[in-house]
Amino acid sequence: MAEYLHRVVDVELDELSAASAMSIEGPRAVGKTETALRRAVTVHRLDDPDQLAVLRSAPRRVVEGTPPVLIDEWQRLPGAWDLVRRAVDTNASESRYLLTGSAAPAEMPTHTGAGRIITVRMRPMSLAERGIETPTVSLEALLTGDRQELGGSTLIGVEQYAHEITASGFPGIRTQGPRVRRGLLDGYIDRIIEHDIHGFGRTFRDRGQLRGWMTAYAAATSTTASFEKIRDAATLGENDKPARTTVGPYRAALENLWMIEPVPAWMPTRNRLRALGSAPVHQMADPALAARLVGVDVDGLLAARRSWSGDGPFLGALFESLVTLSARTYAQAAGARVSHMRTQGGQHEVDVIIERDDGAIVALEVKLTSSVDDHDIGHLTWLRDRIGARLLDAAVITTGPHAYRRPDGIGVIPAALLGP
């Protein structure tokens, strides 16, 4: 049996262990089942056809057994959610049920589970979880606003980050050799297109058009490109463009599978900012999927292959995607939210805004560079001038070797040294 890799979400699950029921949700193959199995006594595997057939004939058995009871891939038996909710209403003792799900069910439960079932998001592995380096800078510490001294060094450079992008954050894929990894990632994408995406009450007949849209979306990684622009990029050279009513369901279905996770725009409720944009930044669940869809490997990334929009090296976009994935994992552990900031017209933008419940933020700019100059911190200082004390801390995330704080107070943090 392969050694279990500790996940950041394990700490969150431990802290929530007093809850009667928890649902761990995220894309297929991120490790939800392995994480849940470490906490379960009774296991109902609904991806096993035999077990599913039995439970469909006698659904109430899904909540039976010595707790904690794990209901794996619960969306295959949508009634399981309501059965757990009712069981918790009857007996709300702690740690009774764990549910895992790789998609929203085709038929939604009659009750949301609010107040009974806590939902926890699990993503592909962050840089800290991959064990390539020992982090020296804690995101949770940045969120305190203490602006502590930053330190630490790493030998991880741009070549290693390119490798991590293409290796993926899926535990069962990243440990394989390059050829096997490519095959597994291609198979993962094929399964989404040929099978998984068709489980939401509709069937997409034109699989080629769906793949084209996914490829165009992948090429738009880390941009705010309009969905019309993505649609047009997916159908270059074709006069007959699919309607919004055709491609809109693609996006909805992929979100239901947690295959795409756009970064919402930051909309502060109190400040002197004006004219903030509202478009999300496009991100796939794992930058490795974007790289495979576009058809680029490590060598192609390092050769600065350009994105479809011509906005710059695709490696820069995928590096931002990798940092965003990691920041989301660390922010969730700290009870914070992740968004991005962009003014209308794009004069000022900050790649990652991490916000506490009280509205105070940490701002991170992501730069594919090993060194930082005054130009690289321009958007961060502009934001600091406008929101003052609400800005707890600010830093540039780089591919460089050292973590430190500049004389102006802006941090410089290598991506591999940032952790929860």
Q: How many domains does the chain fold into?
A: 2
Q: Are residue 108 and residue 131 in the same domain, yes or no?
A: no
* Range scoring the smallest mean pLDDT among 29-33, 246-250, 255-259: 246-250
The pLDDT value given to residue 309 = 44
Which residues on neighbouring strands pair with residue 229, listed in sequence order? none
* Range scoring the smallest mean pLDDT among 183-192, 206-215, 263-272: 263-272
pLDDT band at 139 (very low <50, low <70, confident <90, very high): very high
Q: Are residue 165 and residue 44 in the same domain, yes or no?
A: no
pLDDT above 70 covers a percentage of the chain that reads 90
The pLDDT value given to residue 195 = 87
CA 6 centroid distance within chain: 17
pLDDT band at 308 (very low <50, low <70, confident <90, very high): very low
Q: Are residue 27 and residue 138 in the same domain, yes or no?
A: no
The pLDDT value given to residue 271 = 65
Q: What is the CATH number of the domain that holds 20?
A: 3.40.50.300
The pLDDT value given to residue 277 = 83
Q: Are residue 114 and residue 142 in the same domain, yes or no?
A: no
> Is 307 a residue whose pLDDT tops 60?
no
- C-alpha to C-alpha distances, 408 to 125, 374, 394, 412, nearest whole angstrom: 33, 10, 11, 11
pLDDT band at 3 (very low <50, low <70, confident <90, very high): confident
Q: Are residue 84 and residue 224 in the same domain, yes or no?
A: no
The pLDDT value given to residue 238 = 66
Flag whether 181 is in a domain: yes
Other Cβ atoms within 10 Å of 243 Cβ, number: 9
The pLDDT value given to residue 192 = 93
The pLDDT value given to residue 30 = 97
The pLDDT value given to residue 70 = 98
Q: Are residue 314 and residue 414 in the same domain, yes or no?
A: yes
Q: Where are the alpha helices (DSSP H) in 131-285?
A: 139-142, 158-167, 171-174, 178-194, 207-219, 227-234, 244-256
Q: Are residue 189 and residue 323 in the same domain, yes or no?
A: yes
Q: Name the more confident of 303 and 144.
A: 144
Flag whether 262 is in a domain: yes
pLDDT band at 183 (very low <50, low <70, confident <90, very high): very high
198 touches 359 (CB < 8 A)? no
The pLDDT value given to residue 247 = 77
Note the maximum CA span of the chain.
Answer: 68
Residues 58-105 pLDDT 10s: 999 999 999 999 999 999 998 999 999 999 999 988 889 999 998 876
Flag whether 3 is in a domain: no
3-state secondary structure of 8: helix
pLDDT above 90 covers a percentage of the chain that reads 75
Helical (H) or strand (E) element with 362:
strand 361-366
> Is 272 a residue whose pLDDT tops 80?
no
103 lies in which domain range? 8-121
Q: Name the more confident of 380 and 278.
A: 380
Q: Are residue 107 and residue 163 in the same domain, yes or no?
A: no
pLDDT band at 306 (very low <50, low <70, confident <90, very high): very low
The residue type of 250 is: Y
- Of 276, 313, 281, 266, the closest CA to residue 294 belongs to 313
**Distance of alpha carbon 103 from alpha carbon 325, whole angstroms:** 19
Flag whether 2 is in a domain: no
Q: Are residue 370 and residue 385 in the same domain, yes or no?
A: yes
Q: Are residue 155 and residue 66 in the same domain, yes or no?
A: no
The pLDDT value given to residue 276 = 85
